[in-house]
Structure 1
Amino acid sequence: MKETSKIVHRKIPMIVRILLYLYIAILLVVIGLMIGYGILGNPFEVFRIETWQHIKDLMRG
C-alpha cells in the first residue's frame, strides 16, 4: 500500500495570520475608543496621557 503524505500549503502563513489578527484587533480597539470618547468630546483626546490619568484617578476614588 502506498502512503501519501498530506502536506498543507497555506496561501498565508500562520504567523502572518496571527500578526494580521492582532493588528486588526488593536486597530478596532483604537477606533472604538475614539468613537466612544468622541461622543463626549474630541475623539483625539483619547490619545492624551492626561485623559488616562483622569480616568485612573476616577477609578481609584
Structure 2
Amino acid sequence: MATDQNPNGKKLTKEQERERKRKALDEATKKKTSSEKGKASSKEKKSEVGRRRILPIWLRLLIVLVLSAAALLLGVMVGYGVIGDGKPMDALNWETWQHIIDIVTKTE
C-alpha cells in the first residue's frame, strides 16, 4: 500500500491529502475554464440562460390526468360492452354501478 508523502518526505494525513487533491482539482478547473473563455459560442450562452418549455409542467400534468380518465372510461366501456356482452354505453350509467355495488356488498 503506497503512502502519500509531501515533497519533504513526511507522511500526509488524510485531511492534508484531501486538501492537496482539492487544490490540484481547482487549479486544473481554472486552467480549463480560462482556456475555453475565448471559445465560448452562442450555444453555450443559451445553456447558461435556461430553456423555455413548450408546455408548462402544470399543463403536462393536466394532460396526463385527462388522458388517464379517458383511458379508464374507455377500458370500462370495452370491458362491459365487449367482454361482458352488454351495451358499452350502459357502463356509464349510475344504475349499472349501483347494481355492481349491491352485488359486491350483497345488499338488495
The verdict on a shared fold, with TM-score over 0.5 as the criterion, is: yes
Unaligned runs of 5+ in 1: none
Task: Write out per-residue CA displacement over residues 5-56 of structure 1, whole angstroms, 9 at most, x where no aligned residue.
Answer: 4523111100000000000000000000010000221000011111000000
Identity %: 32
For 1:58 and 1:22, how far apart are their aligned partners in 2?
30
**Paired amino acid for 1:13:** P
Helix, strand or coil at the partner of 2:65: helix
CA RMSD of aligned residues (A): 1.8
Q: Which residue matches 2:22?
A: none
Moved over 2 A (4+): 4-8
- 5 Å-filtered alignment, 1:2-21, equals 5-21=48-64
For 1:45 and 1:33, how far apart are their aligned partners in 2?
10
Q: Which has the larger radius of gyration?
A: 2
Helix, strand or coil at the partner of 2:68: helix
Unaligned runs of 5+ in 2: 1-32, 34-44
Q: Which residue matches 2:74?
A: 31
TM-score scaled by length of structure 2: 0.50
**Paired amino acid for 1:23:** V
TM-score scaled by length of structure 1: 0.85
Q: Which residue of 75, 78, 98 corresponds with 1:53? A: 98
